[in-house]
Structure 1
Amino acid sequence: MDMVNRLVRAAEDGDVAVVAQLLDAGVEVDAPSVGGRTALDLAVHAGHDETVRVLLAAGADPRQKAGGYGELTPLCLAAMYGHTAVVGVLLDAGAPTGAQGRLRYVPLVLAATTGEHGHPDTVDLLLRHGADINGAMKDKTPLEWAATFGQVQMVHQLLARGATPTARALGEARVRARARAKWSPADMEGKYALTVEALRAAGIED
């Protein structure tokens, strides 16, 4: 295994000592492995915040392409998996919080909508670092995306943090609530119905 592949493998494993040793030996920090992914990319994916910190200190680009198809950035990748500590390291290194990468993903939207309930701690950290709570991704705000996916807890969290309640958010939730009720009449307290209630309580009128 050549030196670059050793670096990428060590970064993915979170082996900080080996990563530091290889960097000291002159291995290029952002050189891709035979699989096309860099040490930073795979360290972020695995959630190794200390490894990420070492790579960034060695000059790794926090805005580089990341993900299996190069469709993300390191911050988007960390936000999507709820790796809050890694998100913090990347933000401290100057990673931007707005739309980014070739698909123009917004880290806050990814943190708010991936997983069963989103990633509340990651969302709060992004907001503390200046992420726009109403910043749109593909013409929808984080609140509207959360409503679309029936992320009840996240809808409450975003509203509590100052997200603008919109008719579109209510409309997205209502369409899905009706579809769910039609499919399962007993599911009147389903996640979309609860999302509708939360948005109505925030003052959105039908």
Structure 2
Amino acid sequence: MDVADQLVRAAAAGDVTSVARQLERGAAVDAPDSRGRTALDVAAGQGHAGVVRLLVDAGADPEQRAGEYKESTPLCLAAIRGHTAVVGALLDAGARTGAQGRMGFVPLVLAATAGNAGYPETVDLLLDRGADVDAVMKHKSAVDWAAGFGQDRMVRRLLSRGATLTARLRP
């Protein structure tokens, strides 16, 4: 197993000590493993906030392409899984909140609509840190998507934070 594979494996396990050791031994912080994934990519997606902080402190690019097909970013991976602490760490590292990745994903839309009810704490953090409540992904904002999915609590939360439903979705 090469150095990049070891680093990514330690990051996937959430092993801060092992990640630090690999970096001290000279592992390149953004080097992809044999599957094309980076340590930040997998740590963000799996919710390992301590590892994410260590990696960005070591120079990992918080806006690197991430995901199995490089279609996303670490922030989007964390947002869609409701990993609020990871979202905070990436925002602290300078990750943008607007549309990103090859697919133009909007972290707020992902956090608001993932799962059965979205992730309210992640949504609040993104909004508190400057995300545009009316940012659009595929021609719809987070509140439009949540309304379309029947996520009434999230719709109320977003409306209370200043979101505006589009005309065609209003009752």
TM bucket (normalised to shorter chain) is over 0.9
Residues 122-167 of structure 1, C-alpha deviation per residue, up to 9 Å, x if partnerless? 0000000100001111111111111111111100100111111332
Segments of 4+ moved more than 3 angstroms: none
Q: Secondary structure at the match of 1:17?
A: helix
Q: 5 Å matches for 1:73-112?
A: 73-112=73-112
Distance 1:103 1:129 in 2: 23
The TM-score with structure 2 as length reference comes to 0.98
Q: Across the two proteins, how many residue pairs are aligned to each other?
A: 171
Distance 1:45 1:60 in 2: 15
Mark the runs of 5 or more structure 1 residues left unpaired by the alignment.
Answer: 171-205
Deviation at 1:23, TM superposition (A): 0.3
Match of 2:30 in 1: 30
Q: Which amino acid aligns with 2:126?
A: L
Question: What is the RMSD computed on CA atoms of the aligned residues?
Answer: 0.8
Q: Which amino acid aligns with 2:19?
A: V
Distance 1:113 1:64 in 2: 23
Match of 2:132 in 1: 132
Distance 2:116 2:164 in 1: 23
Match of 2:168 in 1: 168
Residues 145-200 of structure 1, C-alpha deviation per residue, up to 9 Å, x if partnerless? 11111111100100111111332223xxxxxxxxxxxxxxxxxxxxxxxxxxxxxx
Q: 5 Å matches for 1:44-193?
A: 44-170=44-170
Distance 2:134 2:33 in 1: 37
Query: Looking at CA atoms only, which structure, 1 or 2, has the larger radius of gyration?
Result: 1
Name the structure, 1 or 2, with higher relative contact order (CA <8 Å, separation 6+). 2
Distance 1:6 1:165 in 2: 47
Mark the runs of 5 or more structure 2 residues left unpaired by the alignment.
Answer: none
Distance 1:12 1:54 in 2: 13
Match of 1:201 in 2: none
Distance 2:141 2:169 in 1: 9
